[in-house]
Amino acid sequence: MKRNFATKTIANGLVNWYREVIRHPQYRWWIVLGSLIYLLNPFDILPDVLPIVGLVDDGLLASILVAEVAQVIRDRRKSQPGSVTNMTAEVPPTIEVQASRV
């Protein structure tokens, strides 16, 4: 039980570190480049020649990379002037109508 808890804690710590660093503009492209090199490099923590286990670390890194880059792009688009989410839309006034039966 302790080993499972420690593994989850280490994994969560690494994922949180990765998310924090990739959102920092100074290091963002270094992390993206390093992640792509790791994904393309045949020498991994878990070698790709192992049937299923070898692809797990690459799949997790690729999914986190895509999710975080997409979030950075969304945040950048929201912060641009003139974006739909940045503009305050005016709601037209409500017109009250009194209906009667004919």
In contact, 69 and 32? CB cutoff 8 Å: yes
Question: What percent of the chain is modeled with pLDDT above 70?
Answer: 84
In contact, 86 and 80? CB cutoff 8 Å: yes
Distance CA 62, CA 55 (A): 10
pTM of the model: 0.61
Nearest partner of 45 among 69, 10, 16, judged by Cα: 10
* DSSP 8-state code for residue 81: T
**Model confidence over 44-92: pLDDT tens digits?**
777 777 778 778 888 888 988 898 888 888 888 888 877 655 555 566 7
Provide the Cα torsion 31, 36, 67, 27; round to 10°.
10
**Which residue bears the tokens 């979030």?**
71
Predicted confidence band at 28 (pLDDT cuts at 50, 70, 90)? confident
Distance CA 35, CA 20 (A): 15
